[in-house]
Amino acid sequence: MRLSSRAERMSPSPTLSVDARAKELALSGERIINFGVGEPDFDTPQNIKEAATEAMYRGQTKYTPVPGVLELRKAICEKLLQDNGLEYRPEEIVVSCGAKHSLYNAIHVLAEEGDEVIIVAPYWVSYMEQIKLAGARPVVIKASAENGFKIKPEDILGALGPRTRAMILNTPSNPTGSVYTPAEITTVAEALSDTGIWVVSDEIYEKLIFDGARHASIAAFNPDIKKRTIVVNGVSKAYAMTGWRIGYAAADAEVAEAMAGLQSHCTSNPDSIAQAAALEALRGPQQSLSLMVAAFAERRDYILHRLAQIPGIKCNKPGGAFYVFPDVSAYFGRKFGCATVASGSDLAALLLEEAKVAVVPGAAFGDDRFIRISYATSLENIKEGMDRISQVLSI
Ligand code: PMP
Ligand code: GLU
């Protein structure tokens, strides 16, 4: 069968595949500990569910404007002003079916055949494929663990070429959990200042930040950078709403209009009931968010403590999101039964096979010396999972 070259170039999301495999094994009766997918284990807060129910009974069950209902776009503007010091008008906001969809729209209105888009490795899985789907070429800058998985201005300058169109910045980061300080964002913004390139700023983990750190959006650096930035955010992570599929982008009106135009031919508006839920998430009480952040911080500390006890594993302390990204290369060349581990992928396969623990190999994020462990699961599961990992690796 001949499919389009676009379809043939693309590989499906490895994070979602690991999750599907873990769930399949669990269904067949295995007691799997799933550290695979990045999805809060908490339920969506009750007030948000109630807002959705009310919207449904009120009859908010029809098409809405493609970029989302006006009230939600106003609430997003209020949020961006309050949290990020960013002034946007409702016509500069496009609500989409998850932040993944917002990123897709952003990349597709910016980049085309022959263009280059800079991404920072370790990178989140979908950036690479979305850039390729747009016909553009991903240019990867490697950020080292020694530098907290963050890039320096000279790294950006070294990656620029005549076809560079945009750069994707992700803080807090998936998969490393690293968080750029406001001062570091300033140096990145300064490096980008005279380049004319666009920034797609993925801020989906903004609220999941620990140790009193502060999230800074690059768009707030100055009006010129703001004009060339598409800020991407959403409710999936902060409000435990992954299944509702609501993300949003904020951009200059002309860009937002193009993104909405693209969306008008793909999905039309995002789900009308989920939009009512997102409105309540943004405007309603925020207590459940603080409870979740406190739980994530506790889990992070526990998992770091356990990883530190496993010989050879090196792991940075992440400042945000809900992942740890340990370097497991000390295990390369080691034999476990008849299998020799030579990569993060081999180790992930071993952990699934022998420990019944699902993790994502670093290869999915551009560096297979690592594995990603999501701690968006209960402390009880984390304890059990870490016991099992320690046991398998101690052989
Ligand atoms: N960006 C990053 C870095 C993510 O980890 C995710 C997780 N899915 C997304 C975007 C997409 O979020 P959503 O579920 O809202 O599509
Ligand atoms: N962002 C989550 C992760 O990295 C969800 C999976 C996905 O959207 O690919 O696990």
CA–CA separation, 75 vs 192, rounded Å? 30
Instruction: Please give all residues whose beta carbon lies within 6 A of any atom in ligand 2, as ranges.
Output: 13, 15-16, 37-39, 100, 125-126, 174
CA–CA separation, 178 vs 318, rounded Å? 5
Q: Which residue's alpha carbon is nearest to atom 5 within ligand 1?
A: 174
Banded model confidence at residue 13, pLDDT cuts 50, 70, 90 = confident
Q: Which residue's alpha carbon is nearest to atom 3 within ligand 1?
A: 174
Ligand 1, residue 97: give the atom nearest the CA. 16
Q: Which residue's alpha carbon is nearest to atom 5 within ligand 2?
A: 38
Angle at 212 between CA 220 and CA 373, to 5 degrees: 95
Residue corresponding to tokens 């200059």: 252
**Taking 90 as the threshold, does the pLDDT of residue 12 lie above it?**
no
**What does the pLDDT look like over 250-279, one tens digit per residue?**
999 999 999 999 999 999 999 999 999 999
| 3-state SS assignment for residue 388 | helix
Q: Are 166 and 110 in contact (CB under 8 A)?
A: yes
The reply to whether the predicted model has a pTM over 0.75 is yes
Note the ligand closest to the C-alpha atom of 359: 2
Residue corresponding to tokens 């379809």: 7
Q: How many residues does the chain have?
A: 395
Strands 33-34 and 357-358, bridge-based pairing: parallel
Domains, the chain, ordered by start = 5-43+288-393 (3.90.1150.10), 60-283 (3.40.640.10)
**What does the pLDDT look like over 327-378, one tens digit per residue?**
999 999 999 988 899 999 999 999 998 999 999 999 999 999 999 999 999 9
> Two tokens at 70?
């006006």
- What's the CA-to-centroid distance between 187 and ligand 2, angstroms? 29
- What's the CA-to-centroid distance between 130 and ligand 1, angstroms? 13
